[in-house]
Amino acid sequence: MAQTVTLIPGDGTGPELTDSVKEVIGALGVDIEWEIVEAGESVMEKEGTPLPDYVLESIRRNKVALKGPLTTPVGTGFRSVNVALRKELDLYANIRPALSLPGLDLPYKDIDIVLYRENTEDLYAGVEHWVGKHAAESIKIITEEGTERFCRLAFERSREQGRRHVTVVHKANIMKYTDGLFRDVFFRVAKEYEDDFEEIDDRIVDNMAMQLVTKPHLYDVLVCPNLYGDILSDLCAGLTGGLGVAPGANIGDEIAVFEPVHGSTPKYAGQNRANPLATLLSAKNMLIHLGYEEDAERMQRAIEAALKSPETRTKDLGGTAGTREFTKTIVANL
């Protein structure tokens, strides 16, 4: 029986990237039916909103979605279409793996880190206001309930994946109430999983940034509040080739939305220049989520084989191939 997945092509280069995914998954032979819905800047004029109700309805019905990058239009009520999606669907965990890939000339090799970013609280909850005429205030919100469910998801998934070391990142030495609560709840949940991991520890966020660029191989799983997770996940992406190779997933109790981390890059739209790798790797992780582990592994091997030669890598990775050529090489490898 076919698995129906909501597909949001996205803005800018998004349609080219998601076309690459459809071609590769078609070559895999996985029985997926795509329910295509439009969101973002491309529907703003017609629908009056970048996030029409039919998009949310489709995702709620299918439980799984893959989306291309979306441009948030200026002048609307949306701070971010992505943030609105996470709030509306209660996708409280953002998962960002950083994995070294073959063929890339980078200072670091053999990086394998998974970063868990809390997705709905912290400063990104969006509680801001003016204080008088010349000051603005943003309120940082950390709740016990939100932190507990997030930390438990991180431990559960890390255990399933055979991870051995989990580190919570915070600034509780200064923000003793908010970050202190996050850290305390993490260690309370950690007591339930002590026998499953070799090490469970914590790092202050500024020190964590230094650790990641001096000795990243010491780290395995990072558990972060929203803002720190946003920043450190980009740092981890930089260790493995940049945002062009960085997949992402937004996970809730019932719904999962997979997406590349990078933006829509409208200036390259339609030019066969965009690197589909982050979108393809997001789709690979979606296959794992859906239970197609063997197909996901085949896809990973085909991608890695395409990366080994400059003739089949995209230009941003030191190669000469375009979007279509890179995709066709992966299909041929399959």
What CATH code would you report for 107-240?
Answer: 3.40.718.10
* Pairing of β 93-99 and β 112-118: antiparallel
pLDDT surpasses 90 at 196: yes
Same topology between domain 1-97+243-334 and domain 107-240: yes
Mean pLDDT computed over 116-122: 96
291: left (phi over 0), alpha (psi -120 to 50) or beta: left
Q: What is the pLDDT of residue 94?
A: 97
d(CA 293, CA 71): 32
Asked if residue 112 lies in contact with residue 104, where contact means CB atoms within 8 angstroms, the answer is: no
Task: Look at residues 33, 83, 20 and name the one whose alpha carbon lies nearest to residue 61.
Answer: 33
Domain residues of the chain, as ranges?
1-97+243-334, 107-240
DSSP class of 122: B
Q: Confidence class of residue 79 from pLDDT cuts 50, 70 and 90? A: low
d(CA 209, CA 229): 11
Strand partners, 6: 35, 65
Tell me the two tokens of residue 56. 């949310």
Q: What is the pLDDT of residue 273?
A: 93
Q: Confidence class of residue 76 from pLDDT cuts 50, 70 and 90? A: low
Q: Confidence class of residue 71 from pLDDT cuts 50, 70 and 90? A: confident
Domain spanning 1-97+243-334: CATH superfamily: Isopropylmalate Dehydrogenase (3.40.718.10)
Q: pTM of this prediction? A: 0.94
Q: What is the pLDDT of residue 42?
A: 82
Q: Count of CB atoms within 10 A of residue 285's CB?
A: 20
Q: What is the pLDDT of residue 78?
A: 63
Cα-based angle 202, 206, 208 (whole degrees, multiple of 5) = 45
d(CA 229, CA 107): 23
d(CA 157, CA 188): 17
Q: Which helix (H) or strand (E) holds 221?
A: strand 221-224
Tell me the two tokens of residue 321. 């191939």
Asked if residue 229 lies in contact with residue 95, where contact means CB atoms within 8 angstroms, the answer is: no
Q: Confidence class of residue 174 from pLDDT cuts 50, 70 and 90? A: very high
3-state DSSP call for residue 74? coil
Mean pLDDT computed over 183-193: 98
Strand partners, 36: 7
Angle, helix 81-88 to helix 53-62, in steps of 10 degrees: 50
Mean pLDDT computed over 269-286: 96
Strand partners, 96: 115
Mean pLDDT computed over 14-43: 95
d(CA 202, CA 224): 10
Q: What is the pLDDT of residue 250?
A: 97
For the chain, how many residues are written? 334
pLDDT digits (tens, 9 = 90+) for 197-248: 999 999 999 999 999 999 999 999 999 999 999 999 999 999 999 999 999 9
Catalytically annotated residues: 124, 171, 206, 230
Residue with tokens 């933006």: 263
Mean pLDDT computed over 109-131: 94
Highest averaged pLDDT of the listed ranges 66-75, 111-120, 310-319: 111-120
3-state DSSP call for residue 135? strand
pLDDT surpasses 80 at 37: yes
Asked if residue 261 lies in contact with residue 249, where contact means CB atoms within 8 angstroms, the answer is: no
Mean pLDDT computed over 175-188: 98
pLDDT surpasses 70 at 145: yes
Strand partners, 128: 138
What is the percentage of the chain residues whose pLDDT exceeds 70? 98
pLDDT surpasses 70 at 84: yes
Q: Confidence class of residue 109 from pLDDT cuts 50, 70 and 90? A: very high
Tell me the two tokens of residue 57. 């309805």
CA-only gyration radius of the chain, Å: 20
Q: What is the pLDDT of residue 12?
A: 95
